[in-house]
Amino acid sequence: MPTPTEIRLRKAERVLEVVFDDGSRFSLPAEYLRVESPSAEVQGHGPGQRQVVAGRRHVGIMTIEPVGNYAVRLIFDDLHDTGIYSWEYLHELGREQEERWAAYLDALAVKGLSRDPA
């Protein structure tokens, strides 16, 4: 499993940059990380319970907290702080960013929701 060699928060751009020891490098927007949070609030507690999180276009990351040697907790400025992003999940989010983002935009459209805050 790839392990990060560098994690850098670019607050002004609302982007988390992650460099892994396998040479991969990802720039992950805060909005993307927020709507793909591994928290139960977003993922649900079982199959088919995933929530579509709308209105987070302008969300930022306030703080990154290490969780052992395997993950980070991201604290967003909408006060969401319950997701623990393992190295494996961050790598997966980077690899699958294009497909996941397209699926998110499709889910918003189907539900008549917007990326903009209400």
Residue that wins the pLDDT comparison between 1 and 58: 58
Q: What is the mean pLDDT of the chain?
A: 95
Is residue 46 scored above 80 in pLDDT? no
Its pTM stands at: 0.94
pLDDT score for 67: 96
Sequence spans of domains, the chain: 4-111
5-39, pLDDT tens digit by residue?
Answer: 999 999 999 999 999 999 999 999 999 999 999 98
CATH class of 4-111: alpha beta
Convert 81-104 to b/e letters by CB count within 10 Å (16 or more is b): eebbbebeebbebbeebeeebeeb
pLDDT score for 47: 72
